[in-house]
Amino acid sequence: MSVKTFPVQTSAESETFAPAPPANATAVAMSGGVDSSTVAAILNDRGQTIVGLTMQLWNQRRLPELAAQGPTQHRCCSIDDVYDARRVAEHLGIPYYVINFEREFEDTVIQPFVKDYLEGRTPIPCTRCNNDVKFDKLLATARQIGAERIATGHYARVRFNSQTERYELLRAVDESKDQTYFLFGLKQEQLARTEFPLGELTKHEVREIARRLAVPVAEKPESQEICFVPTGNYVRFIEGYLSEQGSAAPTGEGPIVTTTGEEVGRHNGLHHYTVGQRRGLGLFVGRPLYVVGLDRANNRLIVGEDQDLRSSVCEVRDVNWIAWAVPNGSIPATVRIRNRHVPAAATITALSADTARVTFREPQRAITPGQAAVFYSGEQVLGGGWIQ
């Protein structure tokens, strides 16, 4: 087997070079986990011509002061994952490439993540990574090496609707593993060139296939943490990253006020808080209070009771429509406002080509700026965008 390694800061191995794959090859995005490794094994077992691609996204040696002490949960895209992906490619006997996307990842994922938190939003870095790196830069790279399609280990499905002449994004058969919430940003040209071989399978079935095909990582645990946040502590990462960049997070204290304007305490920097948070407020007022808003202009943390968290309307920006170019008028849908949120009945009204208003049938708890609102009709993803 030939392996080609594009420059990767964390690898000291010498490069060997693989011949360009045939034009009908499929590039498999190999993260080193059991899901993407099983995808490569399935396609290889079918006799498809495939090539493995691993993206180097974040230099794990940066910000060493944030490293956890003792055992930690496995996180995606680690250095070990790169070596695991290489090991799987060697086992399958397929060409394999590592591509350094660190700069793109920092520009399109890390910096917006930090900026959003400092501006009072709660971002979803995995969605940005999917939209702006994995399915954008990776597809371009695949084409450069002669592969017109990519396959990934996401739990989702794609089908072509001959009546609308559009590609549709569908929920996975295994609802507990469905990842369509993170994929709402995929464009038609990306869906047309993407395969999700695991979309029809359950996680148990994937493990069994991995064992049957003797995939080296068949028993590997799933990743639990974001690749650039080793302990899951977003605040420590933001402060460490800003320090590395020669700046500092705003640390100014400010008032904690109720929805009626009563001051009930002091906060130690708004980037420590997110909408819906109850713990860590340091308030002793005889009743549970939650963060219901971050007033950046006046450096105020706004708290209230559970009912104050509930709202029936939100507006969504940077909407990507999948089922249509832009729908005419209002449409019924169910809407998911967090990954584990049960989709709730709503009406979606397009305000422009890329903005929409969501009106829920029943008030929803903690509609959080920076999170995604994804629109569904049954198993089909209609589109989605970012909550304003």
Contact 227, 128 (CB under 8 A): no
> How far apart, in whole angstroms, are the C-alpha atoms of residue 193 and residue 142?
10
- Of the candidates 76, 77, 126, 129, the residue annotated as catalytic is 129
The question of whether 76 is a catalytic residue gets the answer no
The question of whether 126 is a catalytic residue gets the answer no
Strand, helix or coil at 238? helix
Neighbours of 325 (CB within 10 A): 8
- Of the candidates 76, 77, 126, 227, the residue annotated as catalytic is 227
Strand order in the sheet with 96-100: 3-5, 96-100, 50-56, 25-29, 147-151, 194-195
> How far apart, in whole angstroms, are the C-alpha atoms of residue 61 and residue 88?
24
Q: Which of 43, 26, 3, 42 is nearest to 142 (CA)?
A: 26
H or E segment to which residue 92 belongs: helix 79-92
Strand, helix or coil at 173? coil
> How far apart, in whole angstroms, are the C-alpha atoms of residue 89 and residue 254?
54
Residue with tokens 């450069």: 144
Contact 359, 318 (CB under 8 A): no
Q: Which of 48, 150, 34, 138 is nearest to 94 (CA)?
A: 48
Give the residue numbers annotated as catalytic, written as ranges.
129, 227
